[in-house]
Amino acid sequence: MSWAYWNPVKIRFGSGLFDEVAKLVGTRRWALVTYDQPIFHELSARLAKAAGAPVVTISNIETNPDCADLVESCRQFGAASQVPEVIVALGGGSMIDAAKVLAASGGDFETVRRHLVDKVPLDADTIVPIIAVPTTAGTGSEVTSWATVWDSANGSKYSLAHPRLYPETAVLDPVLTVGAPRGLTLATGLDALSHALESIWNVNGNPVSANYAVEAAREIIDTLPRLLERLDDVELRARQMRASLLAGLAFSNTKTALAHNISYDITLKSGTIHGIACSFSLPIVMRWATGVQPQCDAALRRVFGADLEQGAERLDAFLQGLGVRTDPAAYGVSPAEWDRLVDKAMQGERGRNFIGKLAAKAA
């Protein structure tokens, strides 16, 4: 078996490290991508006091960066008083994904659209470096080279990807996640669990990604229920953020698999938040993955114990204990539609990463 692992992101992890971001910016002209919310106004002001004012601030993105909003984001980026030399992405995965779109756009979303739709290559030399400062613990976007781009008007989802879109530095300060409410903490935590497990039952899996994934999954299963009861516990926040980072390092090399491909239609159909849409089916997909590949089974046993059927039951109970329904019907999906959705997902880019070949799909 031959394999390779590579991740170029410099990682800084620890409470209070937000104050290092200005040093990382240095003397470069910088753009800020963040939320238009009071807490982010305060953080932005702290950063600007230390680093100098950004040449432009982009704050029109919410969750799930959509083409309709990104057109305006890129226009603002291109209209900056000076050309930015680095982008600081301050926020959740959606903000970091949006920063990657801006970094590749040259100030015009049409450049990104042509790449996504018409497969026109990006000009690597024009991609702007990114400093990623996540304020949630789940997406792992701070250590990956791709971004999810939604086109809700046309019912589509794209993945922007380029090796130059790995952030140059990721600054993970668990203190920044303390204000995240329960629902967001749950959804992002389960997104990270999905990243970990999906990188295990993956045709691109390797020993390095598996070790990251196993540690991440075990830690999330242990930590997340307690964190949801103690949202202001900085130590639990740090553990969850570390687990999310490890899951990001795992799937940065494997990408995700079937559960994620299933999730895209669920989100487009019902608006179900991504972290729930990509995790409710994990017990189902785990059963399909079990027994297919010895390396996968070995990694799953390190997470769930020797009996993987019992492990799938444990995973199901874990999700339901957090209030997440694991029956597709709970998301408005009939049995016939579920079969169609899974068939479609198996043909998708992420679905093709799944190690299993499905003869029967009954949930």
Say yes or no: 331 and 186 in one domain.
yes
Structure-token match 């002001």, residue found: 45
Say yes or no: 76 and 161 in one domain.
yes
Q: pLDDT tens digit string along 106-159?
A: 999 999 999 999 999 999 999 999 999 999 999 999 999 999 999 988 888 899
Residue 359 located in a structural domain: no
| Tokens matching residue 20 | 């290092």
What is the model's pLDDT at position 279?
98
Say yes or no: 212 and 64 in one domain.
no
What is the model's pLDDT at position 361?
46
- Say yes or no to pLDDT of 358 above 60: no
Say yes or no: 211 and 343 in one domain.
yes
Q: Which of 43-47, 148-152, 321-325 has the lowest mean pLDDT?
A: 148-152
Q: What angle do CA 250, 251, 255 make, to 5 degrees?
A: 155
Say yes or no: 202 and 272 in one domain.
yes
Q: Compute the distance between CA of residue 143 and CA of residue 132 in angstroms, rounded to an integer.
A: 9
What is the model's pLDDT at position 210?
98
CB 189 within 8 A of CB 240: yes
Range of the domain at 93: 10-175
Burial label, 71 (beta-carbon count in 10 A; 0-12, 13-18, 19+): middle
CB 233 within 8 A of CB 177: no
Say yes or no: 198 and 151 in one domain.
no
> Considering only CA atoms, which of 101, 103, 93, 139 is closest in space to residue 31?
103
Task: Look up the CATH number of the domain holding residue 51.
Answer: 3.40.50.1970
Q: What angle do CA 179, 180, 185 make, to 5 degrees?
A: 145
Say yes or no: 164 and 43 in one domain.
yes
Q: pLDDT tens digit string along 13-31?
A: 999 999 999 999 999 999 9
Model confidence, pTM: 0.95
Structure-token match 């600007």, residue found: 48
What is the model's pLDDT at position 359?
40
Q: If you average pLDDT over residues 315-339, what whole number do you get?
A: 97
| pLDDT band at residue 363 under the 50/70/90 scheme | very low
Say yes or no: 155 and 192 in one domain.
no
Q: pLDDT tens digit string along 231-276?
A: 999 999 999 999 999 999 999 999 999 999 999 999 988 889 999 9
Residue 61 located in a structural domain: yes
> Considering only CA atoms, which of 16, 84, 21 is closest in space to residue 50?
21
Q: Which of 152, 175, 198 is the last residue of a domain?
A: 175
Q: If you average pLDDT over residues 336-345, what whole number do you get?
A: 95
Q: If you average pLDDT over residues 313-334, what whole number do you get?
A: 97
What is the model's pLDDT at position 362?
44
- Say yes or no to pLDDT of 75 above 80: yes
CB 76 within 8 A of CB 55: no
Share the mean pLDDT of the chain: 95
Say yes or no: 137 and 192 in one domain.
no
Q: Is the dihedral of CA 179, 182, 183, 189 positive or negative?
A: positive
- Say yes or no to pLDDT of 91 above 80: yes
Residues 6+ apart with CB under 8 A from 139: 92, 93, 94, 96, 97, 188, 191, 192, 244, 248
Residues 6+ apart with CB under 8 A from 146: 100, 159, 160, 161, 162, 165, 255
Say yes or no: 340 and 210 in one domain.
yes
> Considering only CA atoms, which of 216, 358, 206 is closest in space to residue 287?
358
Cross-strand bridge partners of residue 32: 57, 88
Say yes or no: 243 and 326 in one domain.
yes
